[in-house]
């Protein structure tokens, strides 16, 4: 049976009158919790610029301002500013030679394996007869390298002092940063940006390690790097450095 409030004499009251807002003004409902997935906290340890190991303080003279500077100098070899300037250029040049050397050791072997060319492996290069004897080539190489390295040393000591060609006076290099000569040495006109310098040094350091690895591989196996790679891929569980050393 339905009952009407007016028929039984009850006053008609709205919900606002029964529960006035001033009575509930001090009540704050709890916030609704999301039904979504609650993200979990994570801790990330990351080396800052100038830190080769997170949390390990870097030397004061390696403040991250140099390209590729991660504060790695455990022996303190670069504490002297003059030595540091020389080491920067030495690493840059050796990185470039290492990249050329690794490419010269790896690419001819790959191209020979796939039948494009037919040349000896890098460790047999000294046994090949060239247009001159090995002693003659050594003398020529020594003279050329001596000239180039002396000029490079002069540029490090006095930047810009060797931009003018001493023989052909009409040839000169534009003003440049030491180690980045530009001009004919930069035919594609790449800009020596900070990012480019970082990448060059990173690849150069990797190439120096790769060059050392190629030497160790050959002394252990008597084979080139590409042949070693193919042998490893043919049986990855048994053709490894561990099995090679245990023989």
Q: Which residues are annotated as a binding site for chlorophyll b?
A: 96, 173
Give me the numbers of helices (H) and strands (E) for the chain, helices first please.
6, 0
Burial 116-139 (b: 16+ CB within 10 A, else e): eeeeebbeeeeeeeeeeeeeeeee
Burial 69-78 (b: 16+ CB within 10 A, else e): bbbebeeeeb
Q: Which residues are annotated as a binding site?
A: 91, 96, 173, 199-200, 203, 205, 217, 232
CB-based contact 77:97 (threshold 8 Å): no
Q: Which residues are annotated as a binding site for chlorophyll a?
A: 91, 199-200, 203, 205, 217, 232
- Rounded to whole angstroms, what are the CA distances from 165 to 92, 139, 149, 172? 23, 23, 15, 6
């Amino acid at each position: 049976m339905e009952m009407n409030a007016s028929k039984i004499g009850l006053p008609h009251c709205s919900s606002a009158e029964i529960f006035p807002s001033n009575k509930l003004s001090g009540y704050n409902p709890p916030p609704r919790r999301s039904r979504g997935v609650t993200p979990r906290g994570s801790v990330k340890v990351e080396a800052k610029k100038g830190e080769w190991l997170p949390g390990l303080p870097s030397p004061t003279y390696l403040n991250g301002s140099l390209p590729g500077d991660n504060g790695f100098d455990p022996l303190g070899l670069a504490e002297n500013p003059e030595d540091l300037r020389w080491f920067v250029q030495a690493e840059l040049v050796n990185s470039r030679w290492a990249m050329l050397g690794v490419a010269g050791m790896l690419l001819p072997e790959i191209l020979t394996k796939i039948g494009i060319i037919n040349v000896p492996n890098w460790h047999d290069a000294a046994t090949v007869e060239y247009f001159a004897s090995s002693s003659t080539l050594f003398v020529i190489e020594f003279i050329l390298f001596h000239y180039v390295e002396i000029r490079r040393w002069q540029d490090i000591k006095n930047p810009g002092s060797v931009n003018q060609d001493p023989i052909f006076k009409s040839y000169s290099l534009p003003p440049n940063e030491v180690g980045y000569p530009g001009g004919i040495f930069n035919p594609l006109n790449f800009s020596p940006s900070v990012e480019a310098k970082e990448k060059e040094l990173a690849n150069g350091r990797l190439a120096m390690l790769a060059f050392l690895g190629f030497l160790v591989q050959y002394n252990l196996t008597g084979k080139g790097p590409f042949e070693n790679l193919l042998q490893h891929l043919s049986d990855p569980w048994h053709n490894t450095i561990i099995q090679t050393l245990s023989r």
